[in-house]
Chains A and B, each alone.
Chain A
Amino acid sequence: MEVLTSLAHGFAVALEPGNLLWCFVGVFLGTIVGVLPGLGPPATIAMLLPLTFHMNPAGAIIMLAGIYYGAKYGGSTTSILLNVPGESASVVTCIDGYQMARNGRAGAALGIAAIASFVAGTVGVVGLMLIAPPVARFALSFSSPEYFALMSLGLALVVLLAGRSLVKALLAALVGLWISSIGTDLFSATSRFVFGTMDLLSGIDFIVVAIGLFAIGEVLANMETREEAQMIAVPKGLRNLLPTWQDLKDCRFAFLNGSIVGFFVGVLPGGGSTIASFLSYGLEKAVSRRREQFGKGVVEGVAAPEGANNSETGGALVPLLTLGIPGSGTTAILLAALVLWGFKPGPLFIPENPDLFWGLVASMYIGNVMLLVLNLPLVPLFAQVLRLPPYVMYPIILGVSVVGVYSESGSLFGLALLAGFGLLGYLMRKIDYPSAPLILGLALGGGMERALRQSLMMSEGNLSILVSRPISAAILSLAGLVLLIPLFNKVNAWRLQALEQE
């Protein structure tokens, strides 16, 4: 009851014409920022920060949060259409999203991404509204051993991302882990694999590798087959450009999975939307009845990660608003913004600023509706991009990739890396190595190494800390189960074979 009164009050704040306008400005900017690769929400928010000094704080936080969750909607667009991940959280979306586009279902993929974002984004806000304080306390019981277990679970998913050969997938994952170790070691300040250059001191950015392997590699591979480079079919008629009822039905579990996984990973200060999207994709595949079709363009493969990275925003605001603890780059700059406006983010922030908190929550419900209305009509429009002939399309992909990487790294060295990883992507396609495991290894490697070493520092080198803590032990067992999945598949195949022979 109390929640409802507070929420009603929040809507009164959020529905003030000024705040409604800022909400729209935020989600609109967010969509644009999300669509453009490279330019992420932290950079946008930082650039807009000086402008917000003249605004009232409620309007300002509503707008900045709008940019944050709005960007997650747009992030899938270039993943699906061009195989260029718009941000790190949309890397997984490339796997099935781009395949759907190649099968002529780009519209369905974009549509389902928007719907999944809406559903999970809303669930994330519900979570933020109802269970923020207890969940934040629960998140504090997570520390390095638990993070290590969580990352292990993520890495175990490599067996699910493998194509025909598990060995090749494992090799690719190892290369990813190696790349993640490049740079200055946090614990000893030693430079690792930097080959004497300053440029590598802070490591190789995940998004550069992802764009290189996926987008540039794809372009290079497609150029070879240019005599038969047929264009991707774009079906005519609005109805064929949107997801069907069957698609929505197929995604029922993905919506739920994405919402829950995204929210809980988001709540953890060491989590992040990249891990959330990988985990929910893996979970979706692990429980799916048509596991073998993942990677060939199934709609759940888009819905789960896109849902997860939207629900993650609601989760990530939990430690920020209830404890003043930022878990990611974007929440860190939101924290800075709150301080600059004269607030004191911390455990007392919500009770002392109910208007601001409830206004924000209400605005996020409104913003998610706005985003759905804004994004669905764009789907047919964006899908037309695929009608472009290859000699226009490939330069566009290259251009978007180059601009994206340059705006992220701000250096020519970043572009050289992009070219290098593009060639690697091409090579991997030629010799049939899957690139997703490499990306997974790279995304998790750094955090996993840190968590392991932190755990061992806590226990003075005793490995038992990883299994003596209940949460960590439970997650590690789950990871063990995931590793057994291919074995089940084999046993199942034998069983079927045996049945046929009888």
Chain B
Amino acid sequence: MRTVPLSRNVLLAAVGIAVSLAGVAPAAEPLRYDKGYITKDTTWSGTVIVRGQTVVKRGCTLTILPGTVVKFEWVDEDGDEIGDGELTVEGRLLARGTKDNVIVFTSARENPRMKDWTFVQVSVNKDAAVEYCRFEYGFTGLQVHYSTAVIRNCLFRNNFEGLRFSTTDVRIENNDIVDNYYGIRCEAHGSRTVITKNRFSGNEFAFFPVQKNWDTVKIYENNFEGSRVYDVKFGMNQKQDMDFTRNWWGTADPREIEGKFYDRSKEETLGRVLFAPFLAERVSGCGILQADPGKTEER
């Protein structure tokens, strides 16, 4: 006869040490999280140090105030050469900086490098908001999965992936996505996505649709100012065509534009980048808005 060990609950409780903090943290001393769990509504300001995985649990909102700097300390317990620092929000993330007081997610290392930390991950959120934030030196700056979200006026730079999303209703607008290996990586799976007024520059690949991106993904009026390899690279399972019309590709020469895509023109099993009609001139108002629009529209 099988028995349920009495020690089970003790073992479960020992799985993680929960750190619960409420209210506004004092700005003088940096707030520190070491594999912590946030189990109440919490507000961050000043400097926050994150070591390992920190999770904001379901039902809790993490509000990050303008000017907050979140630094991920380098630790690599699993030896995969990606820093273990991670902020996962399973409740709701509200990270609204301003033009003059951006929120920064960065490496704590003196000489930071790409992949110094894992990611900020928004998972099963309703109405997450990420505005005037800077994500740098992560594996992925920001990942958003199974959520609704707005991502506006942010800078993604020097990450392996600037922004990754899957199965998420998201508006990605007025961001600067520069000098990452992949700018945006996505698997929409039928979710509704709008990607507009963004500026892509200096990425190895600006846009990487991995698979299952259909016509629910709207990508228009963006400036693709030049990538080191391809502006759009389809993943091997991206079999469907994707609508990339009404974007600026840095040239008005269609043959030159075509050379910026890794799609069916290079591999017959892939879908096609549908890029015509394309814009013959740079789109004005792309990238981070220098004039703070104030309170932005809610989705």
Q: Do A and B form a real pair?
A: no
- Could you list which residues of chain B lie within 8 angstroms of chain A, going by C-beta atoms? none
